[in-house]
A = this chain, B = another copy of it.
Amino acid sequence: MKPVKVGVLGLGTVGGGTVNVLKRNAAEIARRAGREIIITRASAKDLNKQRICDTQGIALTTDPYEIINDPEIEIVLELIGGAGPVKDMVLKAIENGKHVVTANKSLIALHGNEIFAKAGEKGVIVAFEAAVAGGIPIIKAIREGLSGNQIEWLAGIINGTGNFILTEMRDKGRDFADVLAEAQALGYAEADPTFDVEGIDAGHKLTILASIAFGIPLQFDKVYTEGITKITRTDVEYAEQLGYRIKHLGIARKTPEGIELRVHPTLIPERRLIANVNGVMNAVLVKGDAVGPTLYYGAGAGAEPTASSVVADVIDVVRALTSDPENRVPHLAFQANALVDIPVLPADMFRTAYYLRLNAEDKPGVLAEVTRILAEHQISIEAISQKVPLNNETSVPIIILTQITLEKEMNAAIAEIEALKTVSGKVNRIRLETLG
């Protein structure tokens, strides 16, 4: 068969990595796909910039639309990123009947519903394996590998920067701000780290995972996000003493009342495999009703890990070129007309366990007051421990682990505890999941 001609938009980290992998592994890829896949054109903002890839044999342009409108190009790789002008490029490529492969999580999370609807009309594929967890084939695993299951929940370490920071805090007893500065110097974290440390990036990825797990539309605006900026060394150490690690998780769970979509720091038992995923690595734990828990681990970012997913998508598309558009793997794992708008729960209705840390005066009766408040809100205590006051402090840290409770009740109880005269400052609250 004739080679498939591919056009690449963007020659940065992911674009450059993709060019390198497609060139280096061309022979192996042709052995798999049954035909050659060649990049004939690529666009970049600045053609004089130093690249990580060799662009020999590739016609370069600064205008992405030259590629999008080129009738010879069958597959467009959108590797520019961001949800700005890129959306129109992707829609135009679809309009032109081209298949699209993208690594763009915010594009899919924010505009995926519109993009997939358009792709459905035109009978083309928009593939996005690289948008979540870099090189881990997690989209394929959930969408196809676990397709016989009802997915009950999933929990993922899906932001490498955040995991690097938490790992360093634990392993080396360092402070958040200190590690963040290093991550920025190493290039793991952006100059504006908000997307990473506040959970926005993880929220985009969780939006996508939840959609393919439960067959619901993409709805990033309903994801609860809480960052890791308030995690202290103290909490990391207390968690450790109790047999837990603190990880920044994206969690999607189907409950009888609706779906929980939440990104937040979470205590998880250290014996869980996912608690031992360290540094910039990603992992996603998926619980299906038939298969039980399964875990997928690998590099969540970087030029070639991301390219690995982009190229896998390209090969999938090449295989589907001759297929019946009505009988392909649906974009969001479920048939477009079978997506169900199950309600996404507000944070008040989350059900989870908690770690609480509060500072109380070293006086009799304080514990009695705190436990009375928890009991009044139907919150059962799993463990409680009073720490030795440091130096000359008159207040003592109290650590409480609760059983699973309604978040609304927990918030009300915390407000009452904070109002106690014997308790100083805020109650530090971190959610806890056993992931059992």
Contact = CB atoms under 8 A, between A and B. Distances in A.
Contacts of A293: 298-299
A322 B319 contact: no
B140 A312 contact: no
A328 B335 contact: no
A206 B326 CA distance: 36
A63 interface: no
Nearest to A327: B322
A141 interface: yes
A290 B307 CA distance: 7
Interface in A327-366: 327-330, 333-335, 338, 340
A146 interface: yes
A428 interface: no
A327 B295 contact: no
The residue among A291, A297, A305, A311 with the most chain B CB atoms within 10 A of its own CB is A291
A169 B119 CA distance: 55
Contacts of A321: 327
Interface string A22-58: 1011001111111000000000000000000000000
Interface residues of A, number: 67
Contacts of A314: 148
A414 B414 CA distance: 66
Nearest to A34: B335
A32 B327 CA distance: 10
Nearest to A18: B148
Nearest to A133: B294
Contact of A315 (B135, B147, B277, B308): B147
Nearest to A297: B295
A393 interface: no
Interface string A55-77: 00000000000000000000000
A273 B290 contact: no
A29 B144 contact: no
B135 A292 contact: yes
Given A32-B335, A319-B329, A312 B25 contact: no
Contacts of A17: 290
B144 A312 contact: yes
A422 to B, nearest CB: 43
Nearest to A333: B32
Nearest to A295: B297
B149 A25 contact: yes
Contacts of A335: 31-32, 34
A93 to B, nearest CB: 21
Contacts of A137: 140-141, 144-146, 294
Given A34-B326, A326-B34, A327-B322, A29 B147 contact: yes
A136 interface: yes
Interface string A97-138: 000000000000000000000000000000001000001110
Interface of A: 17, 21-22, 24-25, 28-34, 129, 135-137, 140-141, 144-150, 215, 273, 276-277, 288-299, 304-305, 307-312, 314-316, 319, 321-324, 326-330, 333-335, 338, 340
Closest 6 CB pairs of A and B: A137-B145, A148-B311, A294-B298, A135-B291, A291-B308, A31-B338
